[in-house]
Amino acid sequence: MNPIGVVDIFAGPGGLGEGFSSLRMPGSDRPAFSIRVSAEKEVNAHRTLTLRAFYRRFARADDVPEDYYRIIRGEMRVEDLRGDNAREWLEATREALLLELGPESPRLHSEIQRRVMRGEPWVLVGGPPCQAYSLVGRARNKGKTDYVPEEDHRHFLYREYLQILSRFSPPVFVMENVKGILTAKVGDRRMFPDILRDLHDPGRALYGRSNGIYDIYPLSADAAGGAYELGEPESGLSRFLVKAEELGIPQARHRVILLGIRRGLGLKTPSPLVGTDAVSVGRVIRDLPKIRSALSKGDSADAWLNEVERQRRNVLSALSRKRELHDVADVIRDVEFVADIERASRRAPDQRVSLAHADWYRDPRLGVTLNHDSRGHMASDLGRYMFCAAYCAEREGRSPSTNEFPMALAADHRSWESGKFANRFRVQASGSPSATVVSHISKDGHYFIHPELAQCRSFTVREAARAQTFPDNYFFTGERTAQYVQVGNAVPPLLAKKIANIVVNCMN
């Protein structure tokens, strides 16, 4: 059986595609799926996507050329590829398209027509941009006096799905989006029931005439009741919500997943995702090289160590007036901050350390750690990180809310006492799945404080990528900020692989 084709739209750095393309046929090392076309509009994410498309040109990990590793280690440029590898790179650039869906959709449609054979089984996957649906995005929009939801085209990007479903009739589609899509409204109407209705009959939604029906299934571990029925009570739509932490993903990521199956093709009814034991974030980052945080001004190893010692004295002075926090003060007093190490490390992870999903993350050919450098922090934030990490260690994984901070450690911004950002400073406790990795991690690291007090810093891109289950040989291009955005916007590849397994069972 040949690999099933996949078209990935709104692809980001390629999390969904990575999960599908990594699945192997039962009892074989042959891939079950093959990415034919992927489309992304953001330049850095597209570069990451193209580089991974080059990696995927080789069916087995052993076949990946050393040139790929030289490129991601920064030892050579893609322009220097020669021979067969140059041809594979050219094919990768044809697979990964830099375009924004909408005005450029005709180009996407022509690529689908060229790269997917007529009558061939294939799958459409993707997640339309979520800013209009997310709770944070909606809060921002509400504060804009001139914002008109009906005129925000992002509410209707799902219609790009309808265009492809109506024209090309793929047997299966998978759509992913944020939890907020369940309650998003335009005017007084909830969007989600309308989206389900349109996806159920794309031709009628676009042109007023039906040309094929899709049954739409929830995949959550506790989903019951089969396919969605038009007019189903809105109270039951939460069964489309998938909780990643219940599926062995080291992150509490709640996302809406839709699986559409075209009627009349004899495909099997999908089984829901199977729950499994929780995996803590500590179990997937503990082998990474230790690095120190950095100072936003005047950074050096000596300057950093002097500053954390100064902050230690400040924090201990503030805690001395809080009897209920003396145990936290003891942790801070006893810690030995990491010294004589840099703010970045390319040293390979410690292979002696046991790791959850080790075979998934590790690549013995890589020899380095990628995207693992700390950002610069304000000196005062180092003190707050110090307090939070020690508090979390003594309170069994709970981070302090802002009203539990000594006043001497309070940040100087208006929202501190408003209650709107009560969990602004949050430690990712080693014993639990991490919080949802979001693109805002690119702005500051306050919500992703490393649990090890001695490092006194926020998560690196690689640590966020581990929480998102990207393999270590997945390289994120661009500046650090762009890398964080890519990781935060992605679908966890290991979750996507579990979805791909359901899809292949339906299509077999």
Is the CB of residue 342 less than 8 Å from the CB of residue 363?
A: no
In the chain, ranges of CATH 3.40.50.150 domains: 4-280+490-507
d(CA 353, CA 349): 9
Residue 25: band (very low, low, confident or very high) from pLDDT cuts 50, 70, 90: confident
Q: What pLDDT shows up at residue 418?
A: 61
Residue 416: band (very low, low, confident or very high) from pLDDT cuts 50, 70, 90: low
Q: Is the pLDDT of residue 17 over 60?
A: yes
Q: What pLDDT shows up at residue 151?
A: 46
d(CA 504, CA 498): 10
Q: What pLDDT shows up at residue 147?
A: 35
326-334 and 301-319 helices cross at what angle (nearest 10)?
A: 160
Q: Is the pLDDT of residue 149 over 60?
A: no
Q: Is the pLDDT of residue 146 over 60?
A: no
Q: Return mean pLDDT, the chain.
A: 90
Rg, Å, the chain Cα set? 24
Among 25-39, 73-87, 329-343, 403-417, the range scoring the smallest mean pLDDT is 403-417
- Average pLDDT of span 137-166: 61
3-state DSSP: the chain helix, strand, coil percent, rounded to 5?
Answer: 45, 10, 45
Residues 6+ positions from 262 with CB-CB distance below 8 Å: 169, 170, 171, 172, 212, 213, 214
Q: What pLDDT shows up at residue 221?
A: 75
d(CA 466, CA 472): 8
Is the CB of residue 149 less than 8 Å from the CB of residue 185?
A: yes
Q: What pLDDT shows up at residue 116?
A: 95
Residue given tokens 């049954």 in the structure block: 215
Among 17-31, 349-363, 483-497, the range scoring the smallest mean pLDDT is 17-31
Angle at 181 between CA 442 and CA 200, to 5 degrees: 130
Q: Is the pLDDT of residue 383 over 90?
A: yes
Half-sphere exposure at residue 204, Cβ-oriented, CA atoms within 13 angstroms: 12
- Beta strands 376-377 and 294-295 are parallel
- Average pLDDT of span 16-35: 92
CA-nearest of 96, 206, 179, 149 to 436 is: 179
Among 347-351, 419-423, 442-446, the range scoring the smallest mean pLDDT is 419-423
- Average pLDDT of span 211-239: 86
Q: Is the pLDDT of residue 137 over 50?
A: no
Among 30-39, 104-113, 194-203, 251-260, the range scoring the smallest mean pLDDT is 104-113
* Topology adopted by domain 4-280+490-507: Rossmann fold (3.40.50)
d(CA 493, CA 20): 8
pTM of the entire predicted model:
0.93
Q: Is the pLDDT of residue 101 over 90?
A: no
